[in-house]
Amino acid sequence: MLARYLKAQIYVLICGGLVGPIFLITYFVLPNMFGNFGSGFGSMAQSNISWMLYVGALITVADVLVALWLANRGAQSSAKSVRLHQVGVLTTAQIQGLGETGMRINERPVVNLDLHITGPGFAFDDRKRVTVDISKQAIVTARKLVVLVDPNTHEYEIDWQASALIAGVVPAQFSIAEDNKTYDLSGQAGPLMEILQIYRANNLPTSGAVDIRNLPAVRQQILDVVRRAAEQPAAASGGVAAPPQQSVAQRLQDLEALHTSGALSDAEYASKRAQIIADI
């Protein structure tokens, strides 16, 4: 907790909290400097800047309180994440609505996502405020997220890396030596969710390349899912089963929301809109 507080305090000071300590240092040091010209000068200087003592003390106390709040919030968030990874269920959330907030963080728009989250034995709706950067635009447009949910409290967190996987934003390729073949499951939400759940059940990371050759039982489960997905009717264009498609109206609505929120520039908006219309 101490390390977390010190990090928060440094962050607060960097973001403008240094003003308070600077006022206090000035209040106590400046009169001593003028005191070299005589005690009268020192007393006069301290009298003229007496406001710095009160303002500096007030700002410094506020700095400490903000740092304590940030440290406590970070500790609660960390504890929540640890608890979710212990008891949480990996499932999906459907994005049913997207609305702008008018806020921006580091030039990235903040939007509200209306989510419908379902899993074994639970189903609920919630609104989540997220910051959408370039890497998240395609994920949000795909309208499906991977979430880790506590089935008892309905607390959850979004796994953006896994969400990018099932949205087809990042490739999902599986090389099987026995078949002398590489299977591409990019964007196939159903099979990929099965594989992610197998990874989670065996405490394997869901991002990056994972070598499962030393885990024969896990490898066999994943091979079964990959081969089963490959046997499904393939899409005419690429030989890979196509994920369910959104209606043109819904795609245009999502695109308009992203453009309005500032996530897409005018040029990006025009280009993507033309692509959607061309698909009709």
pLDDT, tens digit only, all 280 positions of the chain: 677 767 777 877 777 778 888 888 887 776 666 555 445 555 655 567 778 888 888 988 888 888 888 888 877 777 777 888 788 889 999 999 888 888 888 788 889 999 999 988 889 999 999 988 887 888 888 889 999 999 889 999 999 988 998 888 888 888 888 888 888 888 888 889 888 888 888 887 766 666 777 788 888 888 899 888 887 744 433 444 444 555 666 666 776 777 676 666 777 777 777 776 666 5
Tokens matching residue 227? 């081969």
Tokens matching residue 195? 């594989």
155 with 268, same domain? yes
Residue 68 included in any domain: yes
Domain enclosing residue 32, as ranges:
2-85
36 with 16, same domain? yes
45 with 71, same domain? yes
70 with 43, same domain? yes
147 with 251, same domain? yes
pTM value is 0.61
Partners of residue 92 on adjacent β-strands:
118, 146
**Which of 61, 85, 109 is at the close of a domain?**
85
Number of domain units in the chain: 3
216 with 186, same domain? yes
**Which of 50, 85, 120 is at the close of a domain?**
85
* Total residues found in the chain within this entry: 280
Rounded Cα–Cα distance for residues 96 and 110 (Å) = 17
Rounded Cα–Cα distance for residues 132 and 81 (Å) = 21
Rounded Cα–Cα distance for residues 142 and 162 (Å) = 13
Contact 160, 278 (CB under 8 A): no
Residue 160 included in any domain: yes
266 with 194, same domain? no
**Which of 53, 85, 117 is at the close of a domain?**
85
Residue 191 included in any domain: yes
Residue 238 included in any domain: no
Residue 197 included in any domain: yes
Residue 66 included in any domain: yes
| Number of other residues whose CB lies within 10 A of the CB of residue 223 | 16
Contact 101, 111 (CB under 8 A): yes
Residue 236 included in any domain: no
Residue 240 included in any domain: no
For the stretch 230-234, contacts whose Cβ atoms lie closer than 8 Å and that sit 24 or more positions apart, written own/partner, are 230/183
